[in-house]
Structure 1
Amino acid sequence: MLLPCHQSRVHEMLHVARECTTSQDSSPSSPGGGGTTTTSTSVGHLTFGEFCLFTTELKRCYERDTPRLAILSKMSEKSTVDKKRAERKMSKASPQYEVFLGGSCGNTTWRQDLAIPRLKENGISFYNPQVTHWSEALIELEYHAKQTSMVLFYVLDRETRNIVSMVEAAYLSGSQRKLILVLDCYRRPGDLICGESVSEQEHQELVNGINTVQDLVERQGIPVFGDMNHALNCTAKILRENIWPQDLGIEDQVQPIKHPTLQLGDKLIKLHDAFVNTNSEHITLAEARVAYKVVTNKELTTEELQAIVEAKKGLQIHELNGQELPLNEVCLTFEEFCCIVAEFKNQRLESRRLWDIFHSVMTPIQKVIGWALPRRPLRPISSTGVRDVYLGGSIGTGVSWREDLAIPMLRKHGLSFFNPATGACSGRLLPMEAALIEHSRTLLFVINGNTRAVAQMATASHYLGMGCDLVLCIQMLQEGEPLSNGETLTRLAVKDYNRGRSYLRDQANKDGIPVFDNIQEAVDCVIQKCRNR
């Protein structure tokens, strides 16, 4: 169909479809946040009707060239962040490299084995931060090399935890740098990282971190690579033709990422909410006619209604002998309703209709199984409303700083908020979930001292790179202290996760963003920012 569709959008489609089919109950939305939603952890699938809806909506948005909405928390060009970055640029005196080789270090050999020989073959200058004997004197040298390199080439290898590399790559993608990112995702629990076996919970958090970084990078229109040779070829082209990674296309064997911020999941939720109005798995065509108008703000024409009746009842209109259309006798499933909306919403009539194809491809067994639509209001994952504060950061079992402290204080001062911890966690940054962040005026990220918070640190770092109005609370992990889920980390693991925290803190300090150790002080700062605004 020639419709570029990146990973996070595909996962959003699957996630929302699963939300619409789950039979588990959810509580009503609260005034400031949302109700708790529990979902299955299975991958899920799309029905034919859902696929029709998503693809036609995607095609419509591409043809209209839907613009990206403004990020409300992004500060003005004259902000403290921009001033500090400008000062750093003015102070650069080190030579400029063409490529900075960032990412996994430790015992990895990807630089020496592959990247450096290829760069030398092409006469490309580079800076290699991986050295045999490290000293503090290299910190400033590495920092200047990173600031002055034309292309930042980052590889996240599964042989290390990559905490700093994830946080760093997320920041760079948000700060409008030429970033080439190669991801080598973790395979399975029990694999060794730096000689230590990875638990199932740690493996899942590392995978979620990698996936979130990919979603953040692709949200900027930057392609992510899985093969280093391919990435090196594209790096050479970027330098040779002085283009951006976003300019790579099919001729470079790169899938273009078009409209990366476009969200489609809310379309299915809107249809679902319009459909769920009875205690039956079907609605009549008369009811569907009303629901169609609610969703599209258009009426189904007489011709369209006639065509639906013909397909469903297996007769021609002239066989009705002048009788009125039996709208109350024709029943539709949710999948058929999706097909009707996909077909008629944009008034593009074809000789063979999508919902008619649906009937021809459904086997008798599939018809018997049907589509078990839950009869409950589905809480939207996202909202178009604007809130004062986004409550980002650590989530999970035993993490209650939002409910215990932040939310009561925000309500006391009459401030609205988005609480992502109340939604179903998909392990990715879905477009609808990213919209929650970008519809908030101030972003608060709390990285607890009893959680790994890999994906949350990467997300905070990305919006820090974008120059958003953030407040951070970063607490270090303590050796021997259990996590909120009961796990106890090794000394090496504590060191790895704390290095990520230190990098995020240092980068925030460089950009003039307030960082606290105490959650109360961080929330007070957020409230003061909202008052000043």
Structure 2
Amino acid sequence: MSTSCSLHCDGKDTGKAISKRMAYEVFLGGSCNPTTWRIDIAIPTLQSLGITYYNPQVSHWSPELIAQEYEAKETARVLLFVIDDRTRNCAGIIETAELAGTRRESLIVVIHPYRQGQSILGEIVSNQEYYELTNGLLVLQYLMERQRIPIFESISAALNCTSKILRNTTNVQDLHSEDGIRPSRISFGQQGTDITKLREAFKSLDNNDTGTISFAEALMILQNNGKCNIPVSDVRNGVNRSDAHEKPMIEKLSSYGDAREQRVNFEQFCAIANEWSWRLKNNGVTCESEILSVWRILYRKASKFLRRALIHPFNRFLDWTNSIIIDSEKKDLYIAVVDKDLIWLESSAIPLIESLGLTLHRSSTNEFNVRVLPLELQRMKNSRLIMVVIPHHTRGIALMALAAHLIGLRAKLVLCVQALPEGFSVSGEKLTEQATKDYNRGRIYLSDMATREGVPVYENIDDALQHAIQIIQSPC
């Protein structure tokens, strides 16, 4: 590499192959026009620190820049992405979601949340669109936090940590709250213990508000927390042998029948988590996130009120290929659909799948959000193949983020991506020309990403299902 070349790049130097130039330390990704965060904040700071960067935001973009941007991103030591609230961020959210699966050690993300009543490119955002955009951001944040990727609200703090990572050769997972990262909603505290609202965790599984969840669902979340496997009977018997002062508040679990089918209430859910953590500690089992080592102490010493707030409901890091799978819950196919496509699923897809002797994990929701994602992701992991439909009748930002993340995790996947028609209405609300272009740009970006990674993409939902079935039935 020539050392006489400029240390910085604004994407205009297309006459040389990037491999012959200085390799850039930072790739400046995320929101582009009309945002000016790169030129106003990021570039001056990086230049003052002597850090090289690649800036993909140019006044006149050309297709020749695609290969250059891709290689700059692949070779950069830090990927700094800013998701600004002045754009719909369709491509930015999709790209960040994928990178959360492939580049978790080097991804730094700043997120500026949307505001009700704000405008984007001169258009007032309706309440319905505000909800969908916000849900898309929340899904992205959830997927990032599962990978222990910190989120920043300040570009300046993110730049300081970028310098820290480059100069101290550390990973983003080693950053702390004093570095300016936003407190995680689902990740652990600095001492390896997470204190969250147990009731929220329980409700995330109790979709029908029955007051109970299955024993299998409780174990599902705990098994996600690391490569740990403890016999169901051991957990059940341990809960039933709880200390005398705990027994009045915890009803014994049944010793008969299939324990996984048993329904457990909120108090039993606490006890199961407590017993699981104790066995991990005393059996010398070490999970990747070191998550459960002090649960039992906290649980026993806490008051009854605090016991209702001590649990870690979700895993920090999803190891897609090495996760623990319950044999009885393995299925051939998982299909993620929403709204009108639920009718297609029930009337067309399920009868065809069952007639072929195949098994299905159907999505149990009409909306993919952080409340249902833990269980839905587990069902996806317990399936041989995942099919995700990005329909033409929704904005689809959350589903696109989820699909991109699955691509990043190298999940076995088939996509159906449908463009939004011009002048189309979503839930009775007509989309503007600019909004239609933005959401379709996201669909194009997702389709290109999938094709590049070898993921089949279809526009017709029946064609996508037929291809998925062919993959499942293939002996390879």
Q: Given the two structures, how large is their TM-score scaled by the length of structure 2?
A: 0.69
Structure 1 counterpart of 2:333, one-letter code: V
**Distance of 1:213 and 1:249 partners within structure 2:** 20
Corresponding residue of 1:358: 304
Shift of 1:304: 4.0
Corresponding residue of 1:180: 108
Corresponding residue of 2:461: 519
**Distance of 2:246 and 2:374 partners within structure 1:** 36
Task: After superposing the two structures, state which structure 1 stretch, 406-415 or 110-119, moved more.
Answer: 406-415
**Distance of 1:135 and 1:360 partners within structure 2:** 58
Q: Confirm or deny: 8 A CA contact 2:31 2:89 kept in the other structure.
A: yes
Structure 2 counterpart of 1:526, one-letter code: A
**Distance of 1:425 and 1:121 partners within structure 2:** 43
Distance change in 2, residues 1:266/1:129 (3 Å):
same
Shift of 1:210: 0.5
Structure 1 counterpart of 2:84, one-letter code: D
Task: After superposing the two structures, state which structure 1 stretch, 224-233 or 422-431, moved more.
Answer: 422-431
Q: Confirm or deny: 8 A CA contact 2:202 2:266 kept in the other structure.
A: no
Q: Confirm or deny: 8 A CA contact 1:389 1:444 kept in the other structure.
A: yes
Quick check: 1:147 aligned with 2:41? Answer: no
Shift of 1:163: 0.5
Cα deviation code 1:203-242 (max 9, x no counterpart): 1111111011111122222112122111111111111122
Shift of 1:399: 5.2
Q: Confirm or deny: 8 A CA contact 1:219 1:260 kept in the other structure.
A: no
**Distance of 1:351 and 1:146 partners within structure 2:** 44
Structure 2 counterpart of 1:358, one-letter code: K
SS at match of 1:524: helix
**Distance of 1:460 and 1:351 partners within structure 2:** 38
Corresponding residue of 2:443: 501
**Distance of 2:109 and 2:452 partners within structure 1:** 24
Match of 1:195 among 109, 119, 122: 122
Corresponding residue of 1:239: 166
Quick check: 1:413 aligned with 2:356? Answer: yes
Corresponding residue of 2:212: 272
Bigger RCO of structures 1 and 2 (CA < 8 A, at least 6 apart):
1
**Distance of 2:299 and 2:123 partners within structure 1:** 59
Shift of 1:530: 0.6
Cα deviation code 1:352-386 (max 9, x no counterpart): 9668x438999xxxxxxxxxxxxxxxxxxxx9512
SS at match of 1:297: helix
Cα deviation code 1:39-77 (max 9, x no counterpart): xxxxxxxxxxxxxxxxxxxxxxxxxxxxxxxxxxxxxxx
Distance change in 2, residues 1:144/1:94 (3 Å):
farther
Distance change in 2, residues 1:156/1:242 (3 Å):
same
**Distance of 1:132 and 1:113 partners within structure 2:** 15
- Ranges in structure 1 where 5+ consecutive residues have no aligned partner: 1-90, 276-291, 313-332, 363-382
**Distance of 1:349 and 1:148 partners within structure 2:** 45
Shift of 1:296: 2.4
Corresponding residue of 1:459: 402
Structure 2 counterpart of 1:506, one-letter code: D
Shift of 1:185: 0.9
Task: After superposing the two structures, state which structure 1 stretch, 198-207 or 263-272, moved more.
Answer: 263-272
Distance change in 2, residues 1:391/1:252 (3 Å):
same
Corresponding residue of 2:253: none
Shift of 1:141: 2.4
Quick check: 1:105 aligned with 2:32? Answer: yes
Q: Given the two structures, how large is their TM-score scaled by the length of structure 1?
A: 0.63
Shift of 1:418: 1.7
SS at match of 2:109: strand
Q: Confirm or deny: 8 A CA contact 2:213 2:265 kept in the other structure.
A: no
Corresponding residue of 2:153: 226
SS at match of 1:181: strand
Q: Confirm or deny: 8 A CA contact 1:444 1:471 kept in the other structure.
A: yes
Cα deviation code 1:384-424 (max 9, x no counterpart): 512111112x4135753322332222112122222224477
Structure 2 counterpart of 1:517, one-letter code: E
- Ranges in structure 2 where 5+ consecutive residues have no aligned partner: 1-16, 216-231, 251-263, 280-294, 309-324
Distance change in 2, residues 1:228/1:523 (3 Å):
same
The within-5 A match list for 1:152-167 is 152-167=79-94
**Distance of 2:107 and 2:175 partners within structure 1:** 12
Corresponding residue of 2:5: none
SS at match of 2:47: helix
**Distance of 1:336 and 1:204 partners within structure 2:** 33
SS at match of 1:400: helix
**Distance of 1:224 and 1:351 partners within structure 2:** 28
Quick check: 1:444 aligned with 2:387? Answer: yes
Identity %: 40
Shift of 1:429: 6.1
Corresponding residue of 1:297: 237
Distance change in 2, residues 1:499/1:94 (3 Å):
farther
Alignment coverage as a number of residue pairs: 380
Larger Rg: 1
The within-5 A match list for 1:79-158 is 93=19, 95=21, 96-158=23-85
Distance change in 2, residues 1:121/1:308 (3 Å):
same
- CA RMSD between the two structures: 3.9
Shift of 1:455: 0.6
The within-5 A match list for 1:392-411 is 392=336, 394-396=337-339, 400-411=343-354
